[in-house]
Copies of this chain bind each other. A is one copy, B any other.
């Protein structure tokens, strides 16, 4: 399987990453791409910028572990995960997950699985700026809840 995992300060091009994963292959039927983008609001409050701190080394290891777990759960032909760190402003790309499979259910499930685990298990921390003030973002119960569904259920459509 084609696996790409990158942590980087620089922006990425989601379309180019999709094309790179699929390019020249004829066995892939479904590609699901998730782009996470810096929003100008969070819980009703304006956000002017955001800084993402990460744990170098562990972030790569933790993402690789979850990509391997996704591979063991679904028949995947390729996975790309790119997560940025550093300061971003609204409209900037934060994270990209691309999954490729022969069938759409596997590609969708794997992309959701990876995003739920990036949110709750990958060592990244967001610090938001609201005008002059800045604060660390609290973890969301809804993200923990989303991640837990993957341990409760079996793989594939069985999880629904």
- Residues in A lying within 8 Å of B, measured CB to CB: 13-16, 18-19, 22, 24-41, 90-91, 102, 104-105, 107-108, 111-112, 115, 145-146, 149, 157, 159-160
Contact = CB atoms under 8 A, between A and B. Distances in A.
Nearest to A24: B91
Nearest to A102: B39
B19 A39 contact: no
A107 B97 CA distance: 14
A66 to B, nearest CB: 16
Q: Please indicate which of the listed interface residues A13, A36, A107 has the most CB atoms of chain B within 10 Å of its own CB.
A: A36
A22 B36 contact: no
A25 B93 CA distance: 12
